Amino acid sequence: MFDKLSAYRPQLLSILRIVAGLMFMQHGLQKIFGFPAPAMMPFDILSQMGIGGVLELVGGAMLVLGLFTRCVAFVLSGMMAVAYFQFHWNFGAASPFPMVNQGELAVLYCFTFLYLAAAGGGAWSVDNLLKRKD
């Protein structure tokens, strides 16, 4: 069974990229537009949350398209590493364990994006279309 699944590796990589990008975009939409959930604070593009919201929205959209996947994913991976250490490391019980400090999502995004930076956009990406035209 797993040998048969291996044949779909490039397509599954694209699905991972698209779903991760769509999920990540929601955080930017919330911070900037208060959708799909109300924003925690007013949007200020010059604030750290404002810059984060723009990176989440634009970076997430670029990942969905598979445009400059490796560069965008690398930047977003770093952003999530910073988010974990800045906002979660000392959260609550001052524990480094993501289960305790509510940092699971930041860690998961960080390493998912790091994987995408190494693996690329997959079969269904703008990057793949541009590569074929060379």
Give the C-alpha separation, 117 to 85, whole Å.
21
pLDDT digits (tens, 9 = 90+) for 19-39: 999 999 999 999 999 999 999
Q: How far is CA 115 from CA 5, 92, 119, in A?
A: 19, 29, 6
pTM given for the model:
0.92
End-to-end C-alpha distance for the chain, whole angstroms? 35
pLDDT digits (tens, 9 = 90+) for 61-108: 999 999 999 999 999 999 999 999 898 887 555 677 888 888 999 999
Contact predicate 32/54, CB 8 Å: yes
pLDDT at 134 over 70: no
